[in-house]
């Protein structure tokens, strides 16, 4: 019988959460009595903050947003659960929910008790009915208000069968089948809800937003800026210190850097290691590294010769000098990858226990000879022409091409525009392909299962290396079949050991992203590995 | 005149049809699937198919074209694949900003380019003529994204005289006109530089041609001063080719604005187009191309009408 209790190390225990809630309530009450001012306004500190973002949000609400800025989502919206923004970890803590959910029906039902003091930005109270209605509207094509829903359902709702309001503040979420990553999925902002009446007013969803986060949208000038301001009815008075935060879209990275140097903006992200070096020379600017969950890899289709021989796949791993690639091509903007999961996965990281494919061209040649390819072979690397989140795919492929040529493996590089590349890659059309991948949650379940489980074979799924190994399947099933963290960790670490030995990928790099801000920005949180948790709700500008 | 106008408007129909064909098919024939971009790779094949069906992308490309064209003739340019907002609304929100930038650039190009060309022509062969033409070649050759970044570094970062981008101070409670003007300087200069150089060179060559005409010699023989000959007799006759060049220049300005708007984060149609091309937001790109074509045709029609104003010999009756 799988253990489906809530793991205590993925968030506050119920008792801790309740204690915290009581303490905050007491503090708020005390400040009201003592100073005669509201607890909400007590935390306002400093002046407004301006952030430069690479792309403007199409809309404020996450469901309608497409490329909405992560920063803004975290500040304007609030889901049932959330990652720990304050400490910048992947610990899951209650958001709109008062405490971690109760797991019922063997993991098929999650019961939430919502906070009694959470409000949407129009002043409407967050209720189980509002959350349930919004979830059901997104997943049910026969929902009576479905005509008002013009967007694509969030992928993190695909496990949900139905949401049900038990009473004003009690919400049940029924799943179609057990999903060990569901707690992470509950951090998705699609679980925030929208006031029932507002659903019918589409404009509210797109531009005005009715989030339940610590900031509300004050002004939105398309292409120019979005300004958010502190929402005084937010349940936690400690969040939302800066009175206002502006988001200014600046597509060009060099222009973003210039705007920061000119003092026009307080914060920028998505900058290259070279730009980060330039900014470090400025005494008024602090550059921070964001070590990420991201992995850049080369998938090897294991169905046909020569890549169906594990020795060939291992040889290609040994033949690549990852350290030099990271230093020379990426300017140091990455960590070496030893296994699919980066160090940011905490206990799930297996880099210390898996086989290390350190650069060894002699060993690569020997393995190729053993496999009957002493003279090497010819093939093609498919890559993309570049996109945010793909590092430098062409330059990196050229480096790989040169390294592999040293051991007799001659590859041509074929670079395709991103969406064409991804469309064909997902159909399993490429023998060798490069790709960068950022897991959308802090749970390893998605990355490991989608890329290495035999049930995920293209063209319908994403295991483009066509790895079909019963032992890997067994370990991944074991890890994804329990909510108990110790068992999950062991199963996923063991699975990674086996996966690395089978070498369906060449494991290359985990990106280090760079952000920079001026020194006036205070209490800026430790950089969160996903970028999601980099909420500036605790930051203020001196 | 009415007949001429009607004739010209009828001619725009095949032109717009051609633009619609190019706008529709070029983007679709280019590799890239908008659904992959919309879902950011995070959707099951069934979900992808459902989205494709909802967006009408599962139909044949010919059927899609005629369905789109049928709506376009009624003024419905469709909806953005991303925001589900009407394309026309999105374009009309951005167009005034592009108009402000393009109009400022064209005014600057004329105000600085024409006098430069006139002086160069009247002082043909002098050091001023040679150096002004070298400067105009430089101005014409400089890539505007590079020039824009250089101006940002010098005037925005080093000197801190001007903002590095945007349209106004976003944290100001009320946007002010003076703030807009300050934000307009660098993008206008960037966009206008090449066109200023072009106008200067064209004015010079056009004026030189007129200055060699017999009637100019006659005017000079009558004892008129050099400037009166140039301004009263030569300039007006050299304006016709310049006006026709300016008509084309407006089209180039719209094209140049795509890059300049991106560099300066100017919220116009150009930056919207770049964003939409990256997102494969077909309806927005198609709508923007059609919109630009209509503006281009209108401006050229206006240029044709201006001929008659400048040259009384030209009549459209």
Block residue for tokens 């044709």: B304
8 A C-beta contact, residue A89 and residue A284: no
Residue A330 CA to residue B226 CA, distance in Å, equals 64
Closest CA to A323 of A311, A344, A337: A337
Of all helices (H) and strands (E), which one includes residue B6? helix B2-29
Nearest by CB to B83, which of A50, A58, A249?
A58
Task: Indicate the SS3 state at residue A43.
Answer: coil
Contact B265 A248 (CB under 8 A): yes
What chain B residue is nearest to A263 in terms of C-alpha separation? B157
**B residues 200..239 contacting A (CB < 8 A):** none
- Closest chain A C-alpha to B292 CA, distance in angstroms: 19
Contact B33 A423 (CB under 8 A): yes
Question: What is the number of alpha carbons within 13 Å of residue A497 lying toward its C-beta?
Answer: 10
Residue A368 CA to residue B25 CA, distance in Å, equals 47
Cβ neighbours, 10 Å, residue A25: 13
Q: What pLDDT is stored for residue A362 in this prediction?
A: 97
Residue A286 CA to residue A521 CA, distance in Å, equals 9
Question: Is A224 in CB contact (< 8 Å) with chain B?
Answer: yes
Contacts of B30 in chain A (CB under 8 A): 417
Contacts of B82 in chain A (CB under 8 A): 58, 66-67
Cβ neighbours, 10 Å, residue A13: 14
Distance between start and end Cα atoms, chain A: 55
Q: What pLDDT is stored for residue A94 in this prediction?
A: 95
Interface test with B, best of A46, A53, A209, A223 (most B CBs within 10 A): A223
- Between the alpha carbon of residue A164 and those of residues A134, A160, A168, the distances in Å are 11, 11, 11
Q: Which one-letter DSSP state was computed for residue B178? A: H
Parallel, antiparallel, or unpaired: how do β-strands A81-84 and A49-53 relate? unpaired
Contacts of A258 in chain B (CB under 8 A): 149, 152-153, 156-157, 164-165
**Partners of residue B247 on adjacent β-strands:** none
**B residues 18..77 contacting A (CB < 8 A):** 30-34, 36-39, 41-45, 47, 51, 54
Task: Indicate the SS3 state at residue A288.
Answer: strand
Contacts of A55 in chain B (CB under 8 A): 275
Contacts of A244 in chain B (CB under 8 A): 171
**What is the secondary structure of B275-302 as a DSSP string?**
HHHHTT-HHHHHHHHHHHHHHHHHHHHH
Contact B156 A50 (CB under 8 A): no
Q: What pLDDT is stored for residue A27 in this prediction?
A: 31
Size of interface A-B (CB pairs under 8 A): 138
Block residue for tokens 């074979």: A457
Interface test with A, best of B53, B145, B170 (most A CBs within 10 A): B170
Question: Is B168 in CB contact (< 8 Å) with chain A?
Answer: yes
Nearest by CB to B170, which of A50, A254, A418?
A50
Contacts of A56 in chain B (CB under 8 A): 275
**What is the secondary structure of B213-249 as a DSSP string?**
SHHHHHHHHTT--HHHIIIIIIHHHHHHHHHHHHHHH
Residue B35 CA to residue B52 CA, distance in Å, equals 7
Backbone phi, then psi, for A227, in 5-degree steps?
-110, 130
DSSP H helix total and E strand total for chain B: 13, 0
What chain A residue is nearest to B183 in terms of C-alpha separation? A224
Contact A255 B267 (CB under 8 A): no
Residue A536 CA to residue A137 CA, distance in Å, equals 31
Nearest by CB to A420, which of B31, B45, B274?
B31
Contacts of A206 in chain B (CB under 8 A): 83-85
Residue B110 CA to residue B253 CA, distance in Å, equals 13
Q: What pLDDT is stored for residue A26 in this prediction?
A: 32
Q: What pLDDT is stored for residue A65 in this prediction?
A: 46
Contact A250 B271 (CB under 8 A): no
Contact B83 A153 (CB under 8 A): no
pLDDT at residue B293 greater than cutoff 60: yes
Contact B271 A251 (CB under 8 A): yes
Contact B275 A258 (CB under 8 A): no
Nearest by CB to A250, which of B34, B36, B265?
B265
Block residue for tokens 């206006």: B302
Helices (H), B55-126: 61-72, 87-122
Interface test with A, best of B48, B96, B165 (most A CBs within 10 A): B165
How do residues B206-239 score in pLDDT, each as one tens digit?
888 888 888 888 888 888 887 888 887 788 777 7
Q: How far is CA A212 from the centre of its chain?
A: 21
Q: How far is CA A1 from the centre of its chain?
A: 31
**A residues 40..79 contacting B (CB < 8 A):** 48, 50, 55-56, 58-59, 64, 66-67
Question: Is B97 in CB contact (< 8 Å) with chain A?
Answer: yes
Q: What pLDDT is stored for residue B41 in this prediction?
A: 60
How do residues B251-289 score in pLDDT, each as one tens digit?
777 777 888 998 999 999 988 888 888 777 888 888 998
Q: What pLDDT is stored for residue A467 in this prediction?
A: 96
The first and second tokens of residue A348, run together, are 């799930």
Which residues have a Cβ under 8 Å from the Cβ of A396 and sit 6 or more positions away? Answer: A296, A325, A329, A330, A383, A434, A508
Q: What pLDDT is stored for residue A130 in this prediction?
A: 93
**A residues 157..176 contacting B (CB < 8 A):** 158
Nearest by CB to A417, which of B32, B156, B170?
B32
Q: What pLDDT is stored for residue B58 in this prediction?
A: 83
One digit per residue, pLDDT tens: chain A, 542 residues?
344 444 444 433 322 333 333 333 333 333 332 333 334 445 788 899 999 987 776 554 545 444 445 677 778 889 999 888 777 777 889 999 999 999 999 899 999 999 999 999 989 999 999 999 989 988 888 888 887 776 666 778 888 999 999 999 999 999 998 888 898 889 888 888 888 888 776 555 555 567 899 999 888 887 788 889 999 999 998 888 899 999 898 888 888 999 999 999 999 988 888 899 999 999 999 998 888 889 999 999 999 999 999 999 999 999 999 999 999 999 999 999 999 999 988 899 999 999 999 999 999 999 999 999 999 999 999 998 877 678 889 999 999 999 999 999 999 999 987 777 888 888 889 999 999 988 877 788 878 998 999 988 888 778 999 999 999 999 999 998 888 889 999 999 999 999 999 999 999 999 998 889 999 988 776 566 555 555 678 888 88
- Taking 3-state DSSP, the helix, strand and coil percentages for chain A, each rounded to the nearest 5, stand at 35, 25, 40
Interface test with B, best of A48, A66, A531 (most B CBs within 10 A): A66
- Closest chain B C-alpha to A58 CA, distance in angstroms: 6
Contacts of B151 in chain A (CB under 8 A): none
Q: What pLDDT is stored for residue A152 in this prediction?
A: 64
Closest CA to B166 of B184, B150, B151: B184
């Amino acid at each position: 019988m799988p253990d489906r209790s809530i793991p205590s190390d993925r968030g506050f225990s119920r008792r801790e959460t309740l204690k915290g809630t009581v303490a905050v309530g007491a503090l708020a009450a005390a400040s009201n009595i003592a100073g005669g001012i509201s607890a909400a306004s007590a935390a306002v500190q400093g002046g407004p903050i301006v952030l430069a973002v690479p792309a403007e949000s199409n809309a404020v609400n996450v469901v309608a947003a497409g490329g909405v800025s992560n920063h803004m989502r975290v500040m304007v919206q609030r889901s049932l659960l959330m990652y720990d923004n304050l400490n910048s970890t992947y610990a899951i803590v209650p958001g709109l929910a008062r405490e971690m959910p109760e797991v019922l029906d063997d993991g098929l039902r999650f019961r939430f008790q919502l906070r009694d003091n959470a409000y949407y930005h129009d002043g409407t109270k967050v209720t189980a009915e509002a959350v349930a209605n919004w979830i059901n509207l997104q997943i049910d094509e026969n929902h009576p208000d479905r005509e008002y829903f013009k967007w694509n359902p969030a992928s993190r709702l695909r496990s949900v069968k139905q949401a049900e309001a038990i009473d004003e503040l009690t919400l049940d979420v029924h799943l179609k089948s057990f999903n060990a990553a569901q707690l992470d999925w509950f951090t998705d902002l699609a679980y925030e809800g929208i006031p029932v009446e507002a659903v019918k007013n589409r404009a509210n969803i797109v531009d005005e937003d009715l989030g339940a986060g610590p900031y509300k949208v004050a002004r939105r000038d398309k292409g120019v800026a979005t300004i958010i301001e502190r929402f005084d009815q937010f349940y936690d008075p400690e969040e939302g210190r800066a009175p206002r935060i502006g988001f200014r879209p600046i597509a060009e990275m060099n222009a973003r850097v210039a705007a920061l140097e000119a003092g026009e903006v307080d914060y920028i992200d998505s900058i290259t290691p070279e730009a980060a070096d330039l900014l470090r020379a400025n005494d008024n600017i602090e550059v921070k590294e964001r070590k990420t969950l991201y992995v850049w890899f080369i998938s090897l289709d294991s169905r046909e010769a020569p890549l169906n021989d594990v020795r060939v796949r291992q040889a290609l791993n040994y033949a690549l000098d990852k350290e030099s690639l990271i230093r020379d091509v990426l300017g140091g903007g990455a960590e070496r990858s030893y296994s699919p999961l980066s160090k940011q996965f905490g206990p799930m990281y297996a880099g210390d226990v898996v086989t290390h494919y350190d650069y060894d061209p002699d060993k690569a040649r020997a393995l190729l000879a053993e496999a009957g390819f002493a003279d090497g072979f010819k093939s093609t690397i498919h890559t993309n022409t570049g996109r945010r989140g793909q590092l430098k795919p062409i330059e990196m492929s050229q480096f790989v091409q040169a390294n592999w040529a040293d051991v007799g493996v001659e590859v041509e590089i074929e670079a395709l525009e991103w969406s064409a590349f991804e469309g064909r890659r997902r159909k399993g059309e490429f023998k060798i392909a490069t790709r960068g991948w950022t897991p959308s949650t802090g749970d390893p379940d998605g990355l490991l299962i989608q890329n290495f489980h035999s049930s995920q074979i293209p063209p319908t799924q994403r295991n483009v290396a066509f790895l079909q190994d019963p032992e890997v399947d067994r370990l991944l099933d074991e890890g994804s079949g329990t909510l108990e963290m110790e068992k999950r960790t062991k199963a996923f670490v063991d699975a990674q050991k086996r996966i690395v030995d089978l070498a369906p990928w060449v494991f290359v790099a985990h990106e280090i992203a760079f952000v920079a801000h001026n020194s006036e920005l205070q209490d800026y949180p430790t950089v969160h590995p996903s970028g999601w948790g980099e909420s500036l709700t605790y930051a203020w500008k001196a | 005149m009415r007949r001429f106008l009607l004739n010209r408007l009828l001619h725009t129909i095949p032109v717009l049809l051609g633009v619609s064909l190019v706008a529709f098919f070029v983007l679709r024939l280019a590799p890239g699937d908008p659904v992959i971009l919309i879902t950011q790779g995070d959707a099951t094949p069934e979900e992808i198919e459902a989205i494709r069906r909802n967006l009408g992308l599962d139909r044949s490309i010919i059927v899609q074209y005629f369905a789109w064209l049928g709506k376009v003739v009624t003024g419905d340019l469709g909806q953005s694949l991303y925001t589900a907002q009407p394309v026309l609304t999105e374009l009309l929100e951005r167009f005034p900003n592009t108009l402000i930038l393009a109009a400022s650039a064209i005014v600057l190009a004329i105000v600085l380019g024409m006098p430069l060309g006139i002086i160069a022509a009247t002082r043909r062969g002098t050091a001023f003529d040679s150096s002004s033409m070298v400067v105009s070649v430089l101005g014409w050759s400089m890539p505007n994204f590079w020039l824009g970044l250089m101006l940002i570094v010098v005037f925005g970062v080093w000197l801190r005289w001007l903002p590095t981008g945007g349209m106004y101070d976003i944290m100001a409670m009320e946007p002010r006109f003076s703030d807009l003007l300050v934000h307009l300087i660098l993008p206008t200069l960037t966009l206008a530089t090449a066109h200023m150089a072009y106008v200067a060179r064209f004015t010079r060559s056009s004026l030189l041609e007129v200055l060699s005409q017999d009637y100019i010699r006659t005017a000079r023989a009558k004892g008129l001063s050099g400037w009166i000959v140039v301004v009263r007799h030569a300039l007006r006759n050299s304006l016709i080719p310049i006006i026709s060049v300016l008509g084309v220049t407006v089209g180039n300005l719209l094209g140049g604005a795509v890059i300049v708007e991106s560099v300066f984060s100017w919220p116009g149609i150009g930056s919207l187009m770049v964003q939409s091309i990256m997102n494969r937001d077909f309806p927005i790109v198609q709508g923007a191309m059609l919109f630009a074509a209509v503006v281009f045709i209108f401006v050229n029609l206006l240029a044709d009408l201006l001929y008659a104003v400048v040259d009384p010999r030209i009549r459209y009756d």
